[in-house]
């Protein structure tokens, strides 16, 4: 195998008459560990794979048509600036065209084509196009590199092949045969099996037949009491079991640990719309993310040497499940009982795993984001003072991070969790330069990251409010407010669950000239331009910080109340992936591949097996 940084893509178009578009996706021409339906009716499927070292990538797309098909990689879900690939099968040959979009219009052909067409066919009402490209953007002005950021995959297709030798503007997909979906293409999740000798049990969280309202997007919150454990156990796996028929409606599920038992026990087991005035106050005490799953994602499996503890006095007794329902076709018949299954064992593993909240403490007047901002940075530290004292308290030399969950709300543009040691910025722990609030999932690290005594973490959120907000946005739990947090999954477990900071209120207000309520109102209502946004961002980054280093009421000894802003003396310079080996000069067409068993759907294969079995029984 050529050890190039390559991306292999395949596009498949198919008629639903030949496979089931329900829970089981159509079978790809080879094994693909990643797949997702890009549209609500599940006519458009995307499959891909890559190696652990991010060398090879494969896409496969299924669309209900025998015409041309196109897929693109976009930063925001629009055509402008996207990298586009168009393929079709015609007169015994498969064709592929490398393109880019300079506007929301017909995409011109790339000056240099960097796609390697591997195969193509039309079988059983399905068109298959498979091709490869490098992960790097080999043509700097027209190709987009494939990264670990959230990618918006755009798609479009026509009902007929191009009439000429290439696609032209008149081969328009129309207003219906197009769309986009957010995907993490370079997902490092390790789908390891849990050891069979651990004597596993499980408990399920379900919304138990919730009638989903007839709205485009709905967030449901439900509080659960955990089983009454008589001794310590370890959670080793968390997986979604999505009710058949609703695979494209259950968009994401996030499970939060609650700090205390609810004061009103009647709220337990009640379905409530999240982040509204009617949400019970007890729900707002559940902020620490335990697990997060998003459509297209798989189970969360803990490292074999660590498990999340339950059953001790320090462990949570209540948890909150947030379910995001996506209902673009405004269905009125969604009655969902999907499940998040927690597998646990009493055979304890070597380490307790923990979750550490890192970032900007949620506060309405110390996270202030101006309107009309193209970029507004909000840094928050998990200080070396906090981490060192928490490690010393338990005599730990270090902790090891294996996963991380980045979180802000709708004006968050890019999120980053930095790792600093003695002023030197080490490789980033997690980063997403194309954050999508409606696509949230834990990021699994390809290698565990070691955090030592003396290290610091810094959470940096970059907000973009231009064209979105005309008034100041403040911190808060509502989706109209903002957050800047990272939920770090690590082991061994510390006695703290929060390592946050925020600007010290007097220092912040003094820096911008706020002396009383009147000047505060004036500040919030002022007219903002790019210069004033940048000036305020610089001031926010330079003031003293109040830190929060605790778990409920427990604070490690020798933790300071105030900390100075983190200074990075040596910024990290990430390596830029380069094109290697052959990147152009590939043939734009290959002979059409003949149809074979590899293109049968899973349901069709099952039917064939059952028919053969029945025939064998009758003949016996």
| Predicted local distance difference test score (pLDDT) of residue 390 | 97
| Predicted local distance difference test score (pLDDT) of residue 25 | 64
Most distant pair of Cα atoms in the chain: their distance: 93
Report phi then psi at 285, rounded to 5. -90, 5
What distance, in Å, lies between the first and last C-alpha atoms of the chain? 47
Determine the Cα–Cα distance for residues 175 and 182; give it in Å rounded to an integer.
20
Determine the Cα–Cα distance for residues 260 and 60; give it in Å rounded to an integer.
47
> How far does Cα 119 stand from its chain's mean position?
31
Alpha-carbon distance values, 179 to 40, 41, 171, 402 (Å): 10, 12, 17, 34
Cβ(338)–Cβ(229) under 8 Å?
no
| Predicted local distance difference test score (pLDDT) of residue 329 | 87
| Predicted local distance difference test score (pLDDT) of residue 272 | 95
Region at 189 (left for phi over 0; alpha for psi -120 to 50; beta for the rest): beta
| Predicted local distance difference test score (pLDDT) of residue 502 | 95
| Predicted local distance difference test score (pLDDT) of residue 618 | 45
| Predicted local distance difference test score (pLDDT) of residue 136 | 87
| Predicted local distance difference test score (pLDDT) of residue 175 | 78
Q: Annotate 135-167 with b (16+ C-beta within 10 A) or e (fewer).
A: bbbbbeebbbbbbbbbbbbbbbbbeebbeeeeb
Determine the Cα–Cα distance for residues 443 and 310; give it in Å rounded to an integer.
23
| Predicted local distance difference test score (pLDDT) of residue 442 | 82
> How far does Cα 569 stand from its chain's mean position?
31
218 counts as catalytic: no
Residue 406's Cβ-count burial label (10 Å; 0-12, 13-18, 19+) is buried
Within 8 A by CB and 6+ apart from 134, the residues are 4, 5, 6, 7, 114, 579, 580, 583
Report phi then psi at 235, rounded to 5. -75, 130
407 counts as catalytic: yes
Question: What percent helix, strand, coil does the chain show, rounded to 5?
Answer: 10, 40, 45
Nearest Cα to 402, choosing from 446, 440, 459? Answer: 446
Angle value at C-alpha 92, between 89 and 97, nearest 5 degrees? 35
What residues in the chain have per-residue pLDDT under 50? 1-23, 52-56, 597-620
Angle value at C-alpha 377, between 510 and 291, nearest 5 degrees? 115
Determine the Cα–Cα distance for residues 156 and 392; give it in Å rounded to an integer.
56
Determine which one of 95, 157, 219, 435 is catalytic.
219
| Predicted local distance difference test score (pLDDT) of residue 64 | 64
Determine which one of 233, 251, 360, 407 is catalytic.
407
Cβ(307)–Cβ(353) under 8 Å?
yes
Q: Which domains does the chain have, with CATH numbers?
A: 6-187 (2.60.40.1210), 189-352 (2.60.120.310), 355-395+408-439+447-544+556-572 (2.60.120.230)
Query: Which helix (H) or strand (E) element contains residue 432?
Result: strand 424-432
For tokens 């004033």, name the residue.
532
For tokens 């996207």, name the residue.
82
> How far does Cα 469 stand from its chain's mean position?
24
| Predicted local distance difference test score (pLDDT) of residue 371 | 94
Determine the Cα–Cα distance for residues 294 and 405; give it in Å rounded to an integer.
12
| Predicted local distance difference test score (pLDDT) of residue 333 | 95
Determine the Cα–Cα distance for residues 67 and 46; give it in Å rounded to an integer.
17
| Predicted local distance difference test score (pLDDT) of residue 493 | 95
Determine the Cα–Cα distance for residues 254 and 234; give it in Å rounded to an integer.
19
Cβ(237)–Cβ(198) under 8 Å?
no
């Amino acid at each position: 195998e050529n050890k190039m940084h390559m991306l292999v893509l395949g596009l498949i178009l198919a008629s639903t008459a030949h496979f089931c578009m329900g829970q089981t996706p159509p079978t790809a021409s080879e094994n693909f560990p990643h797949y997702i339906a890009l549209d609500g009716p599940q006519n458009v499927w995307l499959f891909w794979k890559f190696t652990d070292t991010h060398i090879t990538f494969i896409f496969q797309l299924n669309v209900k048509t025998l015409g041309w098909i196109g897929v693109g990689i976009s930063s925001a879900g629009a055509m402008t600036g996207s990298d586009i690939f168009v393929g079709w099968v015609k007169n015994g040959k498969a064709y592929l065209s490398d393109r880019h979009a300079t506007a929301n219009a017909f995409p011109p052909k790339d000056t240099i084509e960097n796609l390697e067409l591997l195969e193509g066919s039309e079988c059983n009402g399905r068109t298959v196009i498979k091709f490869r490209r490098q992960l790097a953007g080999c043509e700097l002005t027209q190709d987009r590199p494939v990264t670990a950021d959230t990618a918006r995959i755009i798609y479009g297709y026509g009902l007929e092949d191009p009439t000429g030798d290439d696609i032209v503007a008149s081969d328009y997909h129309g207003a219906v045969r197009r769309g986009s979906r957010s995907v993490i293409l370079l997902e490092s999740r390790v789908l390891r099996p849990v050891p069979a000798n651990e004597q596993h049990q499980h408990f399920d969280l379900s919304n138990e037949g919730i009638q989903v309202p007839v709205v485009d997007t709905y967030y449901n919150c439900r509080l659960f009491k955990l089983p009454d454990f008589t001794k310590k156990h370890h959670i080793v796996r968390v997986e979604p079991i999505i009710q058949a028929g609703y695979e494209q409606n259950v968009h994401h599920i996030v499970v939060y640990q609650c700090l205390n038992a609810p004061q009103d026990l009647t709220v337990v087991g009640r379905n409530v719309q999240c982040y509204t005035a009617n949400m019970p106050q007890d729900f707002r005490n559940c902020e620490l993310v335990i697990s997060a799953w998003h459509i297209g994602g798989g189970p969360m499996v803990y490292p074999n040497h660590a498990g999340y503890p339950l059953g001790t006095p320090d462990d949570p007794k209540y948890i909150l499940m947030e379910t995001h329902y996506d209902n673009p076709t405004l269905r009125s018949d969604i009655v969902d009982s999907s499940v998040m299954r927690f597998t646990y064992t009493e055979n304890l593993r070597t380490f307790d795993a923990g979750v550490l909240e890192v970032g900007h403490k949620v506060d309405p007047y110390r996270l202030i984001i101006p309107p009309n901002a193209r970029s507004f940075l909000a840094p928050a530290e998990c200080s070396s003072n906090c981490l060192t004292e928490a490690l010393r308290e338990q005599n730990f030399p270090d902790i090891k991070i294996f996963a991380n969950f980045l979180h802000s709300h709708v004006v968050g543009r890019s999120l980053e969790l930095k790792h600093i040691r003695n002023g030197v910025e080490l490789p980033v722990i997690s980063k997403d330069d194309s954050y999508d609030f409606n696509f949230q999932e834990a990021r699994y690290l390809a290698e565990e990251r070691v955090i030592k005594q003396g290290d610091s973490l810094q959470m940096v959120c970059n907000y973009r409010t231009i064209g979105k907000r005309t008034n100041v946005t403040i911190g808060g739990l509502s989706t109209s407010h903002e957050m800047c947090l990272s939920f770090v999954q690590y082991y061994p477990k510390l006695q703290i669950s929060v390592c946050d900071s925020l600007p010290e209120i007097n220092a912040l207000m003094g820096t911008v000239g706020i002396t009383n309520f009147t000047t505060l109102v004036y500040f919030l209502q002022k007219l903002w331009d790019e210069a004033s946004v940048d000036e305020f961002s610089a001031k926010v980054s330079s003031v003293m910080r109040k830190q929060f280093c605790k778990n409920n009421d427990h604070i490690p000894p020798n933790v300071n109340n105030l900390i100075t802003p983190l200074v990075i003396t040596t910024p990290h310079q990430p390596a830029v992936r380069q094109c290697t080996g052959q990147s152009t000069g590939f043939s734009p067409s290959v002979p059409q591949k003949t149809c074979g068993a590899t293109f049968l759907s899973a349901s069709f294969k099952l039917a064939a097996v059952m028919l053969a079995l029945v025939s064998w029984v009758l003949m016996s």
